[in-house]
Amino acid sequence: MKLLTASILFSLLFTALPAELNSQTLKEAFKEYFLIGGAISDFQAAGKEPEALELAAEQFNTITPENMLKWERVHPEPGKYNFELSDKLIEFGLKNGMFIVGHTLVWHNQTPDWVFKDDNGNYLDREQLLERLREHIHTVVGRYKGKIKGWDVVNEAVDEDGSLRKSKWLEIIGEDYIEKAFEYAHEADPEAELYYNDFNTWHKAKRDGIMKLVRNLLDKGVKIDGIGLQGHWGLDYPSLDELDESLQEYSSTGLKIMITELDINILPTPNNYTGAEITKSFEQQKKYNPYPDGLPDSMQTVLAERYAELFGKFLKYRDSITRVTFWGIHDGHSWLNNWPIRGRTSYPLLFDRELKPKPAFYAVIKTVKEINCK
Ligand code: XIL
């Protein structure tokens, strides 16, 4: 009963105000505080969902390519680059005056096996792999010099226990593959901002690992401008205290802090898994797909409240946070419909499948209005 009353109250609150709030766009509402954006999929960049691009142009002032600049897409074979979609994305971003983020140069996923091998299928040695990395970074970053303003240079290099992830990059090159990647990116575009990006950044052990990595880069004088917290979160993780502590700690580096891939998974996740390792996969079962025909109002409310509390924290750290990017534009096209379980109906973003703002959208706008009134 209490929940019901709260939910009615809440929807009244957010449906009674739309005329006023509706006229607000996200980029307008947050303009004094941080950039706000979304990831654009290959499908969308190819122009196959023009209404989603229109919504992105209306609401966002920054975009990130969801997949098209990952190694396997942009450089699928030795000597073969494929810039068709990324060129389109850049054109769209520039036309709309957006801050374009490049994602990503070095990662353990979506990187073909050939990258680590020679023509005979033998693993490269350190110098050969460094040369290959350098060539890749110079080609991709160089092509968009002055247009892509910030790069996720290294993605997910830290493991859950805080140690460096045992990737092929680490195995073949050694720990300094990270600083080398930053150096190459800096050579290729001295003006571009350079970031380290990861998930589960609020877990204590991992947080310590990321802080160690970042401090090491800073001590060595490597150019790094920001730390990207992916933000693939749930209704109860991270807790507000965990988020607060981690924002405080990352801010203490003096670097720019970004929430780079925000989405809130409200569907049940097996084993309470909180990570975003894309190779993780669980079997589909009915109980894991509870809302195939639409999200009940009560859950819209829960999601809206969660978004409101998260944005409350982002605004608290607005002096350090320079950007918040959602991982997608609307629910219909979110990767969470197929990960970590294929074929679910997911509701993680601010816009629904009809591209209409959800109660969570109004809740987010309201957080910033409250700040403005103080
Ligand atoms: C995801 C994309 O959204 C999916 O379309 C793709 O199939 C797999 O990768 N962390 C990252 C992103 O840094 O690049 C991932 O994006 C999600 C997790």
pLDDT tens digits, residue range 292-323?
999 999 999 999 999 999 999 999 999 999 99
Q: Which residues contact 188 (CB under 8 A, 6 or more apart)?
A: 137, 138, 141, 142, 145
pLDDT of 22: 58
**Considering only CA atoms, which of 182, 100, 196 is closest in space to residue 145?**
100
Taking the mean position of all CA atoms in its chain, how far away is CA 151?
12
Ligand 1 atom 3 nearest Cα: 335
Model pLDDT for residues 50-86, shown as the tens digit of each residue? 999 999 999 999 999 999 999 999 999 999 999 999 9
- Residue 296: CB atoms within 10 Å: 12
CA of 38 to the centre of ligand 1 (A): 13
Mutate to test the pocket of ligand 1, among 43, 66, 338 (most ligand atoms within 8 A of CB): 66
Ligand 1 atom 16 nearest Cα: 66
Q: Taking a C-beta distance cutoff of 8 angstroms, is the pair 314, 321 a contact? A: yes
Q: Taking a C-beta distance cutoff of 8 angstroms, is the pair 104, 70 a contact? A: yes
Which atom, in ligand 1's list, is nearest to the CA of 335?
3
Ligand 1 atom 7 nearest Cα: 335
Residue type, 128: Q
CA of 109 to the centre of ligand 1 (A): 9
CA 46 → CA 65, 140, 356, distances in Å? 12, 19, 22
CA of 278 to the centre of ligand 1 (A): 6
pLDDT of 95: 98
- The three-state secondary structure class of 177 is helix
- Mean residue pLDDT of the chain comes to 95
> Peptide bond preceding 340: is omega within 30 degrees of 0, i.e. cis?
yes
pLDDT of 21: 54
Q: Name every protein residue with a CB atom under 6 angstroms from any ligand 1 atom.
A: 66-67, 155, 230, 261, 276, 278, 335
Which atom, in ligand 1's list, is nearest to the CA of 328?
3
CA of 370 to the centre of ligand 1 (A): 33
CA of 55 to the centre of ligand 1 (A): 21
Ligand 1 atom 13 nearest Cα: 155
As given in the structure block, the two tokens for residue 247 are 């924002």
Taking the mean position of all CA atoms in its chain, how far away is CA 31?
19
**Considering only CA atoms, which of 90, 103, 213 is closest in space to residue 151?**
103
- The three-state secondary structure class of 16 is helix
Average pLDDT value for residue range 100-122: 98
Residue 192 has pLDDT above 90, yes or no: yes
> Could you tell me the pLDDT band of residue 4, with boundaries at 50, 70 and 90?
very low
- Residues 311 and 309: their CA atoms lie apart, in Å, by 6
Global pTM?
Answer: 0.95
Task: Point out the residues that are catalytic.
Answer: 156, 261
Which atom, in ligand 1's list, is nearest to the CA of 152?
13
pLDDT of 3: 45
pLDDT of 162: 98
